[in-house]
Structure 1
């Protein structure tokens, strides 16, 4: 046992010795098991998947602007030689993120909430900072070293191997997102990089207040994605303002760029919120105008819609409904592929119809893989971890899947909701739903001096949306605005 443990420890030390490198930002030596070439390869492989998941926002001018500013900022960064790519993805959430190798993404939702180029530049620099400081590579290294430690423990104590899978899952969660130290460093780099290309980084601090207000609007129940693992927005506001002042002095920047009017012109007309053509929920029904179908959503369930699938779940997360397209020449072929993909054991299957459309209904159990592979005693049956109801429906030469899943104990409770959603699938023919247009940001010039709230009333913005518009503009409702000022409102 001691010999085997020493061997595992030796392998870990070998990884440490061979994996030292210098961090491009800090200049310090650090353990890194991911080379720059591997970072680039990871990004190149992941980029098509991200584009498929979200879709690119169809606005050539906006995409060109982001790419040009991104390249300009990357050139003054600590890693100017990476093959950077900058893209606006078609999502309404307030988010920006980066992956290894120089791939940076901003959602149209966050682009709509910036009120000048300097705010945009600060967040862009923050995401470039994650790349230049190799935060993703460090995460991967930590995860790998943890796996080495896990392997060593398994070698030292064979009993520990019984819990290996659970331990690995825990490690995956541990290193899933950037830590707060990484976020603070990215904030510092965002200030540095945006200042170096002439922008006022104080504006970046101001945008944190917009994010904080967006959080408060939701009752504190859900953070905007960009805030989900970040330091407290109030603390960041103070720190980033201090850093911005310091970097302006270092750079000798006396007249930093804000560029409010040019930015507002750029985003005038950007889609705001959900785009109906990608599907939308109204009165507990999901409609998809382009694919011409609809189905009911269980009352009170939360819905997450992406180009690839629709996910629905109740509060508490004890069940899941998933709706998506699946390949297959026939419904039976599609079902067989799903059974193999999800490692399901079919309990019953029947051919049926759903509002005149051919359909196949399957009840199946998912049994944990380790139980499937074990030679259990005859009297001990492998216990399913989940029970599913799969409805495969053939419509317009495509296979649609409605998959409901819960624990076996809760399945009978949720079965009627699963079945109702699937059996409610039907062709969409209502012209009002088919021709539904998205809301868009509209930039308006004020004719008279007034408060923001007075201006919103003059522009006939519904009272219930005034606070929402205040957040969108990064202003307070009682803020005084001069004649000629520009504000954002939302309309068709």
Structure 2
């Protein structure tokens, strides 16, 4: 027995020592069970899924801008051997994230909230820092391998319930929450990298304040930049101090900010939801291009992506999602979908939903899957509805214990699905950022009123501009307003 224990200890020591790799940033040895080639392979696998999930934002100038600045920064980073890719994805959510192997993504939502090039550059350096310090690789095994499948992940995690779908390894990386130490290290690298390409890194601290205000304004979750983050006040002061030190170290006497150049670049950018991809109004989801609508349960949150509409209560006790499903008939689509999700039908019947043919199915995860999850048994209600040459799946998921409580909520929403014919909804145009000039000295509030911005949106626009409503603006100042 003693020999076996010693042999086991020796094997463990050998495994750990053989997995130690030099961290490119710190130069120290880290225990790492993922090689660089595996990181690159994981990034290549995740990238097309992320692009499919969100879609790319169609603005060649902005895509060129993020790629040029990203490649410039990648060259001076600690891992300039990687083939980096930088993309703006078509999502209104305020977020930026990176996956292993050199893939960095900014949403149009975060691009809309930057107020100069230096803020953008600081966050860009922060995300590149996660890659160079191998934070994603360190976290991926804990975050991805522990998810335990679609249904379990959705029902147990409010984060996944809000953002998830069939979460593969690649898309699961979006949910990574770095430690406070990792966030501090990426802040430091963001300062270093953005300063090296000539920008005023202290502007990144100001943008973190904008993020904090936005989160407080609407309770919006910001998964990467603020998850597990240090205290905002401490972070603000630390980044300013680091920026001053880095500028002295690099002898940068005239750092770039690039306010007007950046604002002019985002003039005309879509702001908030793009109606053609679907939008919510008075708890009803409308999709003008696919010409359907349905009701979202009262007080439920939602997220809309090109692939799925995801809904759920804040406590994460249930989740409901709408997706397109393949199949030449309702029966074929239902059978394939249930099989793909590993669901066993309990009850099934053909129904009509507002004149549209449909199948309603109550189903449970297969017994083996339930046993593997070792959690409360789950139950689903799914309506498969045929409309306009497509078949839609509206699936509600909760525990067996809660199923009766949620059944009416699920079925009520699913049975509200109908053809969209309202011209106002079908022809809805997106809001866009408009860059305007303040004609004479005034406060931000006065400038917004002069451009006919309603008072009930002034606080939102103040955050969008990174200002306070009482701020005094000189004549000729450029600001953001929102117009159809």
Question: What is the TM-score normalised by the length of structure 2?
Answer: 0.89
1:62 maps onto 2:54 in alignment: no
Q: How is 1:21-420 mapped onto 2 (pairs within 5 angstroms)?
A: 21-140=21-140, 176-218=176-218, 221-225=219-223, 226-367=225-366, 369=368, 385-420=377-412
CA deviation after TM superposition for structure 1 residue 345, in Å: 2.5
Q: Secondary structure at the match of 1:308?
A: coil
Cα RMSD after superposing both structures: 2.4
1:459 maps onto 2:438 in alignment: no
Distance 1:129 1:371, change over 3 A: closer
- Residues 174-228 of structure 1: CA deviation (Å, up to 9, x unaligned): x94211101100000000000000001111111111112112213xx44433212
Distance 1:53 1:370, change over 3 A: closer
Matching residue of 1:157: none
- Residues 36-83 of structure 1: CA deviation (Å, up to 9, x unaligned): 111111101100111111111110110000000000011111111100
Greater radius of gyration (CA): 1
Quote the Cα distance in structure 1 between the aligned partners of 2:49 and 2:335.
25
CA deviation after TM superposition for structure 1 residue 6, in Å: 5.6
Quote the Cα distance in structure 2 between the aligned partners of 1:232 and 1:277.
38
- Residues 225-258 of structure 1: CA deviation (Å, up to 9, x unaligned): 3212221221111001001001111111111111
Moved more, 3-12 or 192-201: 3-12
Quote the Cα distance in structure 2 between the aligned partners of 1:339 and 1:142.
28
CA deviation after TM superposition for structure 1 residue 366, in Å: 2.5
Q: Secondary structure at the match of 1:410?
A: helix
Quote the Cα distance in structure 2 between the aligned partners of 1:385 and 1:69.
49
- Equivalent pairs, count: 457
**Does the Cα contact within 8 Å between 2:140 and 2:176 map onto a contact in 1?**
no
Matching residue of 2:150: none
Quote the Cα distance in structure 1 between the aligned partners of 2:419 and 2:10.
63
Distance 1:278 1:8, change over 3 A: farther
Moved more, 61-70 or 413-422: 413-422
Q: Secondary structure at the match of 1:178?
A: coil
**Does the Cα contact within 8 Å between 1:104 and 1:127 map onto a contact in 2?**
yes
Quote the Cα distance in structure 2 between the aligned partners of 1:464 and 1:470.
11
Q: Secondary structure at the match of 2:401?
A: coil
Distance 1:68 1:313, change over 3 A: same
Distance 1:8 1:394, change over 3 A: farther
Distance 1:122 1:384, change over 3 A: closer
Matching residue of 1:439: 431
CA deviation after TM superposition for structure 1 residue 409, in Å: 2.4
Q: Which sections of structure 1, spanning at least 5 residues, go unmatched?
A: 147-171, 375-381
- Residues 102-161 of structure 1: CA deviation (Å, up to 9, x unaligned): 100111111101100000000000000011111122224778999xxxxxxxxxxxxxxx
Quote the Cα distance in structure 2 between the aligned partners of 1:411 and 1:450.
57
Quote the Cα distance in structure 1 between the aligned partners of 2:478 and 2:467.
12
Q: Secondary structure at the match of 1:436?
A: coil
Q: Secondary structure at the match of 2:463?
A: helix
Q: Which sections of structure 2, spanning at least 5 residues, go unmatched?
A: 147-171
Distance 1:143 1:229, change over 3 A: closer
Matching residue of 2:473: 481
Quote the Cα distance in structure 2 between the aligned partners of 1:235 and 1:427.
52
CA deviation after TM superposition for structure 1 residue 322, in Å: 1.2
**Does the Cα contact within 8 Å between 2:178 and 2:227 map onto a contact in 1?**
no
Quote the Cα distance in structure 2 between the aligned partners of 1:263 and 1:386.
49
Question: What is the TM-score normalised by the length of structure 1?
Answer: 0.88
Q: Secondary structure at the match of 1:126?
A: helix
Distance 1:36 1:383, change over 3 A: closer
Distance 1:325 1:186, change over 3 A: same
Quote the Cα distance in structure 2 between the aligned partners of 1:327 and 1:223.
32
Q: Secondary structure at the match of 1:227?
A: coil
Matching residue of 2:419: 427
- Residues 2-35 of structure 1: CA deviation (Å, up to 9, x unaligned): 6766665454333212222211111112222211
Matching residue of 1:159: none
